[in-house]
Structure 1
Amino acid sequence: MPTPAATLKRRTFVAGSFIAATALLAGCTAGGGGASSPSGETTLTVMVGAKDLSAEQVAEFEKNNPGIKINQVLFDATRLNTMLASGNPPDITVGAAVGSANFNARGLATDLTPYLKKSDVLKEDDLQPVNNSFRWNGTKSGEGPLYGVVKDWSQDSTLWYNTALFDKAGVPYLSDTEATSYDNLLEIAKKLTVTEGTTTRTFGLGVEWDWSLSQPMSAMVMQQGGQLYNEDLTKIDFTSAAAKRAFQWYVDFGKSGVGPTSLNPLPDGSDYSTFAAQRMAISQDGYWYGGNFAAPDALKTVRMAPSPVMGDTRVAPTFSGQGWWIPEKAKNKDAAFKLMEYYMAGTPAKERAASGWGPFRG
């Protein structure tokens, strides 16, 4: 699952009001989606992360699919919105399954059901439940046709920690099998935090504050047996005892100074560089984070621990589930789905799994 930058930092796409405003300029700035040449050659415009599709993978796909060429465009939310507004989108783009209802409800994504039914490679029955976040039945997310396929995902509240910093502070390692409580995790983080005057030399715990707190807080409430939303998802309640407890934990976290917050942010908006520099003892990131440590020169004193809990119910969900989807107005949908089959079940999928990025199916 790429570098932290390639995970899109869980960014939210720009709202519909921006799309309306930029539509007037779209024809001049969008750049254009895929097209077919007079010779019959199809060019797929693929807007994905910087490391989602390597040059070697592109070459392999083009070799196995004569007549299809790939034009890669680096993902940019503003440019994507402009292209969508102009009716000239890329043939494939990337985004989070969780939250995809934004595009689906506006009719911007293609229903992949007909393609999946015909495919010998991608079958709905093979897909993990995380893919259900790409479903939309016209009124509700999680049900109905599938509008995208997850390329990588993980249980995002799991913990990674640096054993060298634990040793230095004389703190016992986290269990590999037993989940610690959030309250205990905060106390451990206090012991691992190193300050010098007003400067924090080592953070005890990072919770990827810049990536939004709504998903982990929702998980905290579920761990206490509650729900933030009502049954038909029309109301949200932050006044329950479970929700207040989750809020209070983050207040206590912020006051303790053990990790970055919006009042003390990291310059790059991600825990990774600070963690890799051995200036953060624990980072709350999912299985996918392990791909950062596969390189020969990567930090080696790293271990993984289960998601912390706040209550009696074990809940460790995915917060995003990055995937690919085909815009409704894409010009080369059949060719785009061929690339999706290759990416989700061919060489790229095998290489992602081998390097530590989350798998999309069982």
Structure 2
Amino acid sequence: MNAQTRISRRIIIRSLAIAAALPLVAGCTVGSPGSSSGGNSGEATITLMAGAQDLSDKQIAEFEAANPGIKINLIVTDPTRLNTMLAAGSPPDIVAGGALGSANFNARGLATDLTPFLEKSQVLKEDDLQPVNDGFRWDGSHSGKGPLYGIVKDWSQDASLWYNTALFDKASVPYLSETEPTSYDELLQIAKKLTVADGGTTASYGLGLEWAWTLYGPMSAMVLQQGGNLYNDDLSKIDFTTDQARRAFQWYVDFANAGVGPTSLNPLPDASDFSTFAAGRMAITQDGYWFGGNFATPEALKTVRMAPAPVMGETRANPTYSGQGWWIPEQAKNKDAAWKLMEYYMAGAPAQARASSGWGLPALKSLMAKLPQELPYQKAAYNVAQNELQYAVPLPDSPYITIDLLNTTIDKYLQKAIKNEMSVRDACAALTDELNQALAHGKEQIG
């Protein structure tokens, strides 16, 4: 299972829970954004490639009832199928994907500039977009500025921590601060105290890192926290041989060797921390605000709290590792209809439901007030999340490589270092060489 598929798995799990648990607001009619180069938005079938339950059956029916003549055909996220469809010139009308990683699609000219639609929209407004949406901007050489090529559906500052106070009490470990960050070195020591072994197995993990989902995101953040950067200025070269990058890489090796949490060499069966954490077999998990949406049901674990992102260095940074959203391919046939669905999903009933459930921070400023604060853990998590917003920073996004390739290559050399097949220094050097070869190839292809 590759990294993009694993991230999609998380989205599917979250969307399933939202679809099953949340009521819908009926009768929401969205406005038309105006003309496009696509087909007739009044008589169209929108092909949406997204998570299996990004749109529930009820939401699809609601949208189709409010927009006669438009039908939705949902196909489950499949990177291989998407590439085939793009190459054939018959892509989906909407594709789900991360803002982080969109530079590659944008540099290849695969996405539609949404600025003309946004300018005419009566539903989505430029000044209502949270800064996280800037990850979908592309000025021809860098992401973060220029025209908008996608819209985030919801997001989280993914370096945040969630922990189970019952396991802290059992191990006589003090709770984490709600305002002051723990250093990564301290976090590893805490995780060792919280890890419970039972013979040759681990009865309870001290810390989960969602290793199966991303490595580039947290490592890049660790480097930023130390005042460094993995890339050069034009994002054509990467360097894991700097002191900052090697320190981040070494920490992951130390984490694995300490046996305090799952890794790719010791993975969880479902490639997700949630079930293990919810079962009381993991004390801390590094997950964003969205993770709290799991605990709003009566039967859910009640001893949960949220804490700030840990730090490696002097600079606090708590970025999003993805910023999942939707984009419209340049060769999409039904852009007008696709935009109507974008409006509905990003600002209508689905967006309001996502925000009020706590499944991520909303990508629209106007929806922030809907975040739940009824339960004690929700109020506390809301306060932590609001304080962490000042430390939200974008991660570098090179147009010459995919996030999937970054993650799999990093993991390859982490495994070699963990198994003592290579020293950390040699692994970082080899990792740098292999990624720079991929970056050079990608730059040659894009031009």
Shorter-normalised TM range: 0.7 to 0.9
Shift of 1:189: 0.4
Aligned residue in 1 for 2:119: 117
Q: Which structure shows the bigger proportion of residues in helix conformation? A: 2
1:205 is aligned, of 207, 211, 216, to 207
Relative to structure 1, is the Cα distance of residues 259 and 352 closer, same or farther in structure 2, using a 3 angstrom cutoff?
A: same
Shift of 1:216: 0.7
Paired residues of 2:136 and 2:151 also in contact (CA < 8 A): yes
Aligned residue in 2 for 1:28: none
Shift of 1:231: 2.0
Shift of 1:264: 1.1
For the residues of structure 2 that align with 1:296 and 1:332, how far apart are their CA atoms? 43
Paired residues of 1:222 and 1:313 also in contact (CA < 8 A): yes
Aligned residue in 2 for 1:59: 61
Paired residues of 1:193 and 1:202 also in contact (CA < 8 A): yes
The correspondence of residues 177-326 of structure 1 with structure 2, limited to 5 A, is 177-326=179-328
Aligned residue in 2 for 1:7: 11
Relative to structure 1, is the Cα distance of residues 92 and 4 closer, same or farther in structure 2, using a 3 angstrom cutoff?
A: closer
Give secondary structure in 1 for the equivalent of 2:153: strand
Name the aligned partner's letter for residue 262 of structure 1: S
Q: Give the aligned CA root-mean-square deviation in angstroms.
A: 1.9
Relative to structure 1, is the Cα distance of residues 121 and 36 closer, same or farther in structure 2, using a 3 angstrom cutoff?
A: closer
Aligned residue in 1 for 2:130: 128
Name the aligned partner's letter for residue 156 of structure 1: D
Aligned residue in 2 for 1:349: 351
Structure 2 residue 362 is matched with structure 1 residue 359: yes
For the residues of structure 2 that align with 1:4 and 1:302, how far apart are their CA atoms? 25
The correspondence of residues 138-157 of structure 1 with structure 2, limited to 5 A, is 138-157=140-159
Shift of 1:219: 0.8
Give secondary structure in 2 for the equivalent of 1:144: strand
Paired residues of 1:229 and 1:235 also in contact (CA < 8 A): yes
Name the aligned partner's letter for residue 123 of structure 1: K
Query: What is the CA deviation profile of residues 98-154 of structure 1, one whole-angstrom value per residue up to 9, with x for unaligned ones?
Result: 001121122211111111111122122221121111112222222221110000111
For the residues of structure 2 that align with 1:4 and 1:212, how far apart are their CA atoms? 12
Aligned residue in 2 for 1:340: 342
Relative to structure 1, is the Cα distance of residues 8 and 101 closer, same or farther in structure 2, using a 3 angstrom cutoff?
A: farther
Superposition TM-score, scaled by structure 2 size:
0.71
The correspondence of residues 35-74 of structure 1 with structure 2, limited to 5 A, is 41-74=43-76
Shift of 1:296: 2.9
Give secondary structure in 2 for the equivalent of 1:210: coil
Name the aligned partner's letter for residue 318 of structure 1: T
Structure 1 residues not aligned, in runs of 5+? 10-33
Shift of 1:6: 4.3
Paired residues of 1:194 and 1:200 also in contact (CA < 8 A): yes
Q: How many pairs does the alignment contain?
A: 334
Shift of 1:4: 7.4
% of aligned pairs identical?
Answer: 73
Give secondary structure in 2 for the equivalent of 1:145: strand
Name the aligned partner's letter for residue 50 of structure 1: A
